[in-house]
Structure formats: C-alpha cells, structure tokens
Structure 1
Amino acid sequence: MGRQPGIRGGTLRTLIGGQRDVRLMPINSYSRLVGYDASLTLQPDILAEYTVEDDRIYTFHLRDGHRWSDGSPFTSEDFRYCWEDVIENRDLLRGGPPADLKVDGEVARFEVLGPLSVRYSWSRPAPAFLTRLAAPVPLVLALPSAYLRDFHARYQTPEKLGDLIVRYRVDDWPSLHTKVSRQNRPENPDLPTLEAWRPRTAPPAEQFVFERNPYFHRVDADGVQLPYIDRWLFNVSSSEIITAKTATGESDLQLGGISFPDYTLLKHAQHSYPQKVSLWTRTQGSSVALMPNLNCGDPVWRGLFRDVRMRRAMSLAIDRAEINKVLYYGLARESANTILPESPLFKPGYATAWAQHDPDMANALLDEVGLARRDRSGTRLLPDGRKAGIMVESAGESTLETDVLELITDHFREVGLPLYIRTSQRDIFRSRALGGAVMMSVWQGLDNGVPTSEMSPNELAPTSDDQMQWPLWGLHYMSAETSGEGPDLPAARQLVALLRQWRQTTTSAQRVDIWTKMLEIHADQVFTIGTVNGALQPVVKSSRLRNVPEEALFGFEPTSYLGAYMPDTFWYQGAD
C-alpha cells in the first residue's frame, strides 16, 4: 500500500498496560539521527546527511533551522553538551562512556566541525555505530542543552541546584539531571524533544497525553509538516482487559496487549465498531521461549543448565507441532529460537536443530547428565536426592505464554521433569534473575529475527543484563567488565570473541561469515529453547485511519514496532 497524502488533525487513542509503557512512544514515533525505512535500509532522518569513511569516520550534518519542540535551535552545541558535559562526566556516567562508543577499549574521538556539523571517529572500524543510532532505544548523542544546563553543576549555582533537588525529590544533582533528561522515558513534559509528539503529562496518571511537535522536521510530498495526528493518548488499563476494551472500540490503534488467540474476538468486533483488524508477522526468533539461567544460584541446577545435553534434552521434549496446532491454528512455524526465513542470513538448519519432538532421545540425554534416578511416580531426582522440578518464571504479561507453558508442562512431565510456573512483575523478575534466584524464565526469543549482516549480532552474545539465559555475563559486558561475571563457558566466550571480531569488520562478506558462525553455535548449543516463530500479530485500527500497512513485520527490533512505518504519516479520513 502506497502512502497517501493526508489531512492534519484528530486524536489517536492507544491502551497501555501500565505507566511504564509510555516508553513505547519514542519507540513508535521513531525519530532518529539515522533510521531504518520499511525495507530496513538505513537512511538519514534527523540528520540532513552523513558520510562514512572506512567504517571509522562518521561525519554528521544537521538541518539548517531545525529546532527542538520548545523552539530552541538544534545545533552541534547539543552534541557537544551531550559528549563533554554528560558522557565524559564521571558524576553522571560513573562507568565512563558506554560500550557502544568504544572499539577495543578506545573511546570515539568527538569533534565539532561547525554549528551544523560534528564528527565521531576511531582508529579502527566501528561498523555497529549507525545501527545503534537506529535502534528502538538508541544511543543518545544529542541533548537539549539550553534546557538541561539549568540542572547541571557546571552551569547552575549550588543554591539553585539545591532548590531543584528538593523540588524533584532526588538526592543529588546527578540524580536530578538524569531524571529530567531521560529521552527514552518521556515522563518530563518540560524536556524538549525531536520526536513527532511531545509529552504533556507527568506520572502518576491514568492518561498520558502527547501533542504534535510544532517543530518536527518531516514533511509530506506536498510540503505539509508532519505529523498529521494532533494528539496521541496513552490510556492506562489493566493488561488483562486490553483485548476486551479494544474489542469495544476504546482504542484507535492497538498492537500491544493483544495476541493471536484474540484474533477471533477482535475480528468479530468489526461488525459492531468502526475498526479493522490486520495480521502482521512477528519478527521474534521465537514467540515464546524458555531461558534456562546459566547463572542460576543453585549450584546443582547451574551445573545441569551449563551441560549442553540438558538443554538439548529439554528442547527435544517439546512437541512444537502440538503448540502450533492448538494455539496458532497451524499458521506459525515450528522452530528453534533463531532468525526467520525473511532474513537473508537464514539457513533451514538453524530452525530444525534439536527442535524435533523426540522424547526417547530426551530421556537418554537426561539419563546421561545424571538424572537417571526416579521416584515411584516417575519424577527424576537430582544427584542430591531432590526432585528435579523446574520452576519457570514469567512476567505474567501474556496469556499466550501461559497457554504455551501449560502444554510444555505436559511435554516435560512425559520425560520425568515437573514444571512449575511462578509469576512476578517484570522489574522484580529481572532483579531476581540477576541475583541468581530465577531457575528458568519464559520470554520472547530473539528480538531481531530478520537481521542483515550489517546489523550487529550483539543479541547472540552475552551483552545485556536483561538476557535471562545469562544475566550476569551480560551485565559483565555492558558494564565494561566492572560488574557481573565473565562467561566461563567456552561457547559463550567464543560468542563474545566473534562479536568483537564483527565490530572490527570492514566488508559485508566478513560480517556474513561471523553471523553464520554465531548462528551455528546457537543452533548447536541451545542456549535458549524456542517453540514457534513467524506467528501472526493482530493490529487493530480505526476504520478511518489511513496509511497503516495491511501487512508488515511486527517486532521491537529492527522495526521499532510501528516506527519503520512512520506513524507521523498516519491520518484520519474525515478528521476535524
């Protein structure tokens, strides 16, 4: 569907499951220095243009006359402030510049070339630099300096800072600056933005209002300034009733909080309310995946999960065909947690590795790893005599996860492994995983199941503390080795080494080779256990809303949910 020129006006309503989900706004609005278009090609966006030399030297040119949402000029000074007064300020960033600005420990060299030009350079290649700027939660290189100086010790008097610290209920000036400057959590209505819509509501609230940015940089083919939609409302609801509220016409555009099992209800609602349901293809490596915690605090379970035979056995125990048939009407693809056929890097062997339903082989592998003993009921026993029951933890945000787990519970029981389900809030869940208290998690698979070789393979290596299969190893990497633990499993260490090699590549062929090696390690080692991918995601929109694709890829990375499809171009037929 081609993009039609639109009419400005109207209010768009979306339901969210909690106040924290206001962070979806800058993800979906997707205004970036450099961003992906709908074909996943990198393009200058906020930047007027950029040049790259030898994958080492990146020169950025800004638009003449571009302004922040408060009308203040957007210039190289905002890049300088971000670099010198934030990134290099150890009071604000105790660990120093983030890993995304380093190549083998070398921090980028930053230069201001003029009022509208800046440069970042390294002595070695930094091929991931632009992709980090295009990410759903991007590397931040520019901040609204005119506004933020008032909250910075270099520019503000101690007396005034003291008053602000009391007013904003924080402990010190670094906490103050961090609180007011968060671009990825639009909770400060006073913070100028470059996004299409600016926040007008501070939490706590039941409704978060975003209004059009009067200085937004994009225009349509006729020269009309975008966005077309005047206001975007995020209405907080209980996540359990988002589907019901959507089905009764309380949302004008809904992607979150609904899933494929809701499709029949939502489709039926079209007859009663002026809305339409489309089906997009989910890009996750697995719609639902199990994540055995290789950093589990229990030494017995930690040893078992680090044995590849245990991970393979659990994968072989799962009947993916049943999951697909019962929960996805056979429309998804049975697969390990890996990339999708839509990716140019895909090979069929990645999807089928240790993903067949083979209870006999699973039983044999479980016997080999030291779980041969069973009690009278057939439950396997750990070497120390405890029942080999696995507690799997969920953030409780998806009924689909629960339904998949119910089927997997039956599959695991057949090989003598009881499965117990525990639900907790996402933040508590993640902190418990870091503390080693979580044995196994249920989550989505790879965020980016449709990568090209030009995209960083960082998801395949321990790089973040929210990777539930190895949170301490991920924390070690993201903290520049100052926290967490270094991976002590050879295959995990190899993934980190390959990622570092990718970060030094200069050709597409080199990047394809490294991606291939990392994907092969994942297929062989089963660090995470996938079920199905390529599942369909309902997207509900008002029947008057235009320019929303009928078919598209749906996922966090690389499309930033709606971001790659430019919601600033969505418009209402018959808008006031």
Structure 2
Amino acid sequence: MITRRTALAMLASTVLPPRLLAAGTEAEALAPLVAEGKLPPLNERLPKTPRVINVAARGRTAGKYGGEIRSLIGSAKDIRLMTVYGYCRLVGFDEELKLQADVLESYETVEDRIFTLRLREGHKWSDGTPLTTEDFRYCWEDVLLNEDLSPAGLPTALVMDGEAGKFEIIDERTVRYSWTMPNPDFLQKLAAPQPLIIVMPSAYLKQFHKKYQDEDKLKATMKEERVKKWSQLHMRMARSYRPENPDLPTLDPWRNTTPLPAEQFVFERNPYFHRVDENGLQLPYIDKFVLNVSSSSLIPAKTGTGESDLQAAGIDFVDYTFLKDAEKRYPLKVKLWKKTQGSRLALLPNLNASDPIWRPLLQDVRFRRALSLAINRREINMAVFYGLTKESADTVLPDSPLFRPEFANAWVAYDPDQANSLLDAAGLAKRGSDGIRILPDGRAAQIVVETAGESTLETDILQLITDYWREVGISLFIRTSQRDTFRSRAVGGEIIMSMWFGIDNGVPTANMNPGQLAPTADDQLQWPVWGLNYLSHGEMGEAPQLPPVVELLDLLKRWRHSSTDAERTEIWKSMLSIYTDQVFSIGLVNASLQPIVVSSKLRNVPEEALYGFDPTAYFGVYNPDTFWLEQDT
C-alpha cells in the first residue's frame, strides 16, 4: 500500500491575508534604495506565498525594524555560524523538532522513496535573480555529477546501496528526487545545521564553470583569484556554508558584505528574504549582524564587558558566575539553555591507534568499561558543575523519546574494585613499583589524553580523572593540541585517547539518522579510520572487523532502508544499547547548561531552550530573524 505524506510550508493559520501583505512596510534601511529605484518595492521582492512566522503564537512579540547585533567569533572561519544561526533550509525543524517546509512552498513524499519539492512562485536569491528549477538542475548535473567538482561522487545521503538518486524537473516550479528503496535520510540532511546542498545560484556560478564560460575569461578569473584549476575557482566562489564570497547570492536572512581578510564581518539583511511575520513585515527585523574576530581566550571577558549583544560561542558554564556578575555593570542578561550533547565532555579511546600494544587494548571492551567505572562522576558533577548536571553515559537525553535509563546508567557507577578486576582480566595484572600497571611490552600504562585546551573545564576534569585512574593503576597525561590537528593526528593513529564532546544530537527522534553511533565520518575520534572508510565508500581507511562495530553499521544500513517509525525506533534502541554497553565513548555528565548572553534590549530570545549544533542549529530553530532590538526613545 502506498503511503503519502504532504507537508505544507505554512504553519496552522499562517496563510497571510492579501491585505496584510499589502500593508507590509519597508525596513527603514531599505526604503531609500526603493525610493531611488535601486531595489523593487516589497511586494515585488517577496514570493507570492511567503512563509509566515506567527511570532505571537510562539508567545513572543511582533518586532520592529532596525539596529545591529554584535557578536564575537574566534576566527574568520566562524562566519559559518551565520549560516547555522540563520537556519534557512529547503525544509527545516521547528522548535518541537518537527520537519516543515521553509524555502519550499511544500513537499510530498511517497514511501520515503519519492520526494517532490515545490518552489514558491516569485522566490528570489539575495541579488534579485529568480530561484528556479534550473538552480536544482545545475547543482545536480553540473556540480554533483561533475568529476572535477565532486571527485568523491554523490554525497552519501543521495546514494542508496550504490544506487544514485534520480533527479527530474516536473514543471517550472517542481523537482523530484527518487530511489527504488526508502531513503529516510534525505529530508533530515536537507534540514541539518550543515545541510546537504542540492540547489545553487546557477545564474551567478555559471561564470566560473568551464561548461558555460569562455575559456579565456575563465583563465583570466583563475589568474585573478590565484588558482590553477577551474574546479578550485568554482568551489571557492560557490562555498555557501562558510560564506566567504560576498558576491555569492544567498537565501539566508543576512548576507555577508565583507571579503577576506578581515577582523570584522558585516552581514546585512537580505532584501529578498522569503519570511514575514503575521503582520506582513518582512523578516529579519534586525538590519545587521556584525561578527568581530577575537582571541578565543578573550571572548568571555569581552562578552562580560558588553562587547557582544548575542553570545554563546566561546563561553561556557565555567564563565557563568563572572557573566552573571557582569549584569550589575553592563546592559546584558544571562540565560541558561540546556546543551543537547550526549555528554558535556567525553573521553574517546582511539580504536584505530597505530600503536600495536594500545590498539588491541583499546578495542577490548573490558578495558573501556574499567576506565569508565574508575571515574567518580558524582564528584565531577559537584566540583565542576555545582551539581547541576546529570551523571550519565554518552547517550540521548530524557528530552528524547528514545531515552531509556539503562542507556544512561551503563558502566557509570563509581566502582574501582570492578575496574581493577576488569583491568586484570584484560591482561594488565602486573604493576610497577609505583603502582602503575605494565603493558605487555614492558612499558608503563600511560595514557596521553589530547585536548584542544579551549576551556579550563577540560583540564579541571582531566585533573580529577588523573587521580581516579591512578588508583586503578593507569597513568594519565594531558597534551594540548590545536583543534584543527585533531582529525589528521587521529586518522594517522597518533592519538591514543582524546577529550571531546559526546554525541552531537542528544535529543533525536526515530526519524533522525543514527549515524553518530557508528563509524561514519573521519572526525569521529574514537574510530576515524573506520569512519573514513565509510565516508569514502570503501576507497580509503579500513573496514572495521570488531563485531559490535560491524553490527552498528549493519543496523545503520537497516535504518537507511527502513520505512516505518516503529522499525526506526527499534533500530535506534538497538544501536543505543550497543553503543553504551560497549563504552565506545566514555561519557561523564550531560544536561549541562550553556550561558546565553543577550543585550538587555534584545527581544524574543527564549528564556529556556535546547542548545546544540545538531539538530537545533544553536539559535537556528528559534528563528533569530524574529529577534529584535528595543530602540532608545
């Protein structure tokens, strides 16, 4: 039996009456451009059916135009945060983490195999060029299927068991993607904080493509941009997730106006943005987002002296007391949102370590369980988090419908006696005169834990764990290295263990991809070589042989072929059970709190919310385009 599900773009009762659309007024920042004829009037810039955000229905207040938001970033690369914050997607999650159309007017799925996407009539890119089915065709045929631009082939989400999806243009506003088997990952990837790209501004990008551009003009542009290949030129100009090219048209609420290099990036409102509030005012309310580059170590101090109007990046719970005290001196407020990570910080044993002694030891579940049992999480919670977190394995939070207490409690009880017994059984019964266990090759059992050292939180916790592990005969040393070097060192097997965050999405539903519980990427520090193998479709890295890991990948494959919520729920629970029982990540505490610092004039920022990269896109699902500033009177 064919099941059919249709999702319309508008929320309940959000079809905008024609009188409200006509009543929509221009933002003051755009009015002069309209008056001078440099910009069409509002009703010519909006789609025929804009997406309506009913602000009042969300318990917030309809806003006013104007002002700028200042925020601090640790490096120029972090301008990608604006793509996450803006959270403009073909389909996206709402605050309840349910999918709905956003850029699309509507979408329809048949058996999770056939996806029909309908565009809004009159929708335009930020430069005023129409958003059309040609933009989808160009991305599919001229970019994703082009060997120069996509040497690794189609993204994983577009390939099912070696079968590439089929792309069709149905009519001037409708495209279709289809497979012969279910692909439950497709819509989820479109809604991701770092989304699957299936549409590009073709009218702009064709000037950098050898198929469409005159060879001499293309070579001249390549020389100007100092690249040797046309593919490098196209990739640089087309990069949308990290919007470094100010000329690249966007659909986001704000567009970058600042070329590299720079210490300050100014994002101005997109005059063609497709969302409006219930009163017909085009969003965003805020005119500008200004990102100021600062040393990461200085971000908390600068935030506490009022140099940011909206800040979460670069600050942590350890800064809360200082920031809260700053409320007395500066016009700012500190809110606390719950982090969505499966563990605030986790120890990740590298099962792909190149050391021939450590690798089999790290792959021995008795060893991983022992290290977990040797940690006094209650003491860490009280000493570092003031008892405000939940001692837990690295798993989903109670906010997720997939939560089970047995997952959270797996191998987290403080039990040094059982830890000692497991270490003995794992072949480490012999100890040196200092009490440290001896490895089979005669070396002392010294684990170097690598950390990015971006917060004193990491070193504070590792100092406590050093004492716990010494009690069971394991020596711990801390090594700080740059975040950017983590992946290459881990893939090269140079890292034995690292401290990083737990699973990204601690609030999943059964319809979200469980790939975070299996080796699916080379930046998963507990199994990067296996993840690289998955990512490259077997072309690179190594395939895992460890039975529980093989089972996780088999279950993931089953999920990718699933077509019912019940089946997906069962698969998720099996994967969570294996992941926590095998202690592939040594979780510590979760449900920790993230300080959110906002200007006292900034409105519509929720008092309490979930905070994380996936799936909430940090601020994204709470629509920063509806945040607004109370102006001085």
TM-score, normalised via structure 2 length: 0.90
What CA deviation, in whole Å up to 9, does each residue of 1:124-151 have, x standing for no partner?
0111110000000000000000110011
Residue of 454, 464, 471 corresponding to 1:407: 464
1:458 and 2:515 matched: yes
Q: Tell me the residue number matched to 2:179.
A: 122
Shift of 1:275: 0.7
1:109 and 2:166 matched: yes
Q: Tell me the residue number matched to 1:45.
A: 102
- Aligned positions of 1:267-346 closer than 5 A: 267-346=324-403
- Label 1:524 to 1:207 Cα distance change in 2 as closer, same or farther (>3 A): same
2 CA distance for matches of 1:499 and 1:170?
A: 40
1:535 and 2:592 matched: yes
2 CA distance for matches of 1:476 and 1:273?
A: 51
1 CA distance for matches of 2:374 and 2:384?
A: 18
| 1:265 maps to amino acid | F
1:138 and 2:195 matched: yes
Q: Tell me the residue number matched to 2:582.
A: 525
1:433 and 2:433 matched: no
Shift of 1:446: 0.7
Q: Tell me the residue number matched to 1:482.
A: 539
Q: Tell me the residue number matched to 2:8.
A: none
Conservation of the 8 A alpha-carbon contact between 1:323 and 1:407: yes
Residue of 404, 414, 418 corresponding to 1:347: 404
Conservation of the 8 A alpha-carbon contact between 1:305 and 1:311: yes
1 CA distance for matches of 2:499 and 2:514?
A: 22
Q: Tell me the residue number matched to 2:264.
A: 207
Q: Tell me the residue number matched to 1:92.
A: 149
| 2:90 maps to amino acid | L
Q: Tell me the residue number matched to 1:8.
A: 65
Q: Tell me the residue number matched to 2:19.
A: none
| 1:545 maps to amino acid | L
1:241 and 2:298 matched: yes
SS at match of 1:445: coil
1 CA distance for matches of 2:586 and 2:524?
A: 13
Conservation of the 8 A alpha-carbon contact between 1:288 and 1:404: no
SS at match of 1:159: helix
- Label 1:575 to 1:178 Cα distance change in 2 as closer, same or farther (>3 A): farther
Conservation of the 8 A alpha-carbon contact between 1:228 and 1:570: yes
1:362 and 2:419 matched: yes
Shift of 1:45: 0.3
Q: Tell me the residue number matched to 1:61.
A: 118
| 1:97 maps to amino acid | L
| 1:207 maps to amino acid | Q
| 2:477 maps to amino acid | Y
2 CA distance for matches of 1:416 and 1:316?
A: 13
| 2:565 maps to amino acid | S
2 CA distance for matches of 1:417 and 1:158?
A: 63
The percentage of aligned residue pairs carrying the same residue is: 59
SS at match of 1:78: helix
1:27 and 2:84 matched: yes
1 CA distance for matches of 2:500 and 2:445?
A: 22
SS at match of 1:66: coil
| 1:261 maps to amino acid | V
What CA deviation, in whole Å up to 9, does each residue of 1:134-187 have, x standing for no partner?
000000000000110011010112212211212112220111111111111111
SS at match of 2:221: helix
1 CA distance for matches of 2:160 and 2:486?
A: 32
User: Mean alpha-carbon deviation: is it higher for 477-486 or for 68-77?
Assistant: 477-486
1:419 and 2:476 matched: yes
SS at match of 1:299: coil
Shift of 1:38: 0.5
Shift of 1:203: 2.3
SS at match of 2:120: coil
1 CA distance for matches of 2:467 and 2:163?
A: 51
2 CA distance for matches of 1:317 and 1:208?
A: 47
What CA deviation, in whole Å up to 9, does each residue of 1:529-556 have, x standing for no partner?
0000000111000011001000000101
Shift of 1:370: 1.4
- Aligned positions of 1:112-191 closer than 5 A: 112-191=169-248
SS at match of 2:498: strand
1:232 and 2:313 matched: no
Structure 1: gaps spanning 5 or more residues: none
2 CA distance for matches of 1:316 and 1:575?
A: 56
- Label 1:80 to 1:419 Cα distance change in 2 as closer, same or farther (>3 A): same
Say which structure, 1 or 2, has more relative contact order (CA 8 Å, 6+ apart): 1
Shift of 1:202: 2.1
Shift of 1:411: 1.1
What CA deviation, in whole Å up to 9, does each residue of 1:314-333 have, x standing for no partner?
10111100110011110100
| 2:454 maps to amino acid | E
- Aligned positions of 1:504-515 closer than 5 A: 504-515=561-572
| 1:361 maps to amino acid | Q
Conservation of the 8 A alpha-carbon contact between 1:92 and 1:174: yes
User: Mean alpha-carbon deviation: is it higher for 310-319 or for 416-425?
Assistant: 416-425
Q: Tell me the residue number matched to 1:497.
A: 554
Conservation of the 8 A alpha-carbon contact between 1:7 and 1:575: no
Shift of 1:575: 6.4
| 1:224 maps to amino acid | L
2 CA distance for matches of 1:112 and 1:322?
A: 59
2 CA distance for matches of 1:575 and 1:178?
A: 44
SS at match of 1:20: helix
Q: Tell me the residue number matched to 1:468.
A: 525
| 1:533 maps to amino acid | N
1 CA distance for matches of 2:339 and 2:245?
A: 32
Q: Tell me the residue number matched to 2:32.
A: none
Q: Tell me the residue number matched to 1:553.
A: 610
Conservation of the 8 A alpha-carbon contact between 1:10 and 1:231: yes
| 2:128 maps to amino acid | G
1:568 and 2:625 matched: yes
| 2:187 maps to amino acid | L
Conservation of the 8 A alpha-carbon contact between 1:69 and 1:216: yes
| 1:279 maps to amino acid | L
SS at match of 2:198: coil
Shift of 1:99: 0.8
2 CA distance for matches of 1:213 and 1:565?
A: 19
Shift of 1:3: 2.3
Q: Tell me the residue number matched to 2:33.
A: none
User: Mean alpha-carbon deviation: is it higher for 151-160 or for 38-47?
Assistant: 151-160
SS at match of 1:123: coil
Conservation of the 8 A alpha-carbon contact between 1:10 and 1:575: no
RMSD across aligned C-alpha pairs, in angstroms? 1.0
| 2:115 maps to amino acid | Y
What CA deviation, in whole Å up to 9, does each residue of 1:1-42 have, x standing for no partner?
612110111010111111111111101110000000011010
What CA deviation, in whole Å up to 9, does each residue of 1:415-441 have, x standing for no partner?
111111111111112111111111111
Aligned length: 576
User: Mean alpha-carbon deviation: is it higher for 95-104 or for 343-352?
Assistant: 95-104
Q: Tell me the residue number matched to 1:73.
A: 130
| 2:299 maps to amino acid | I
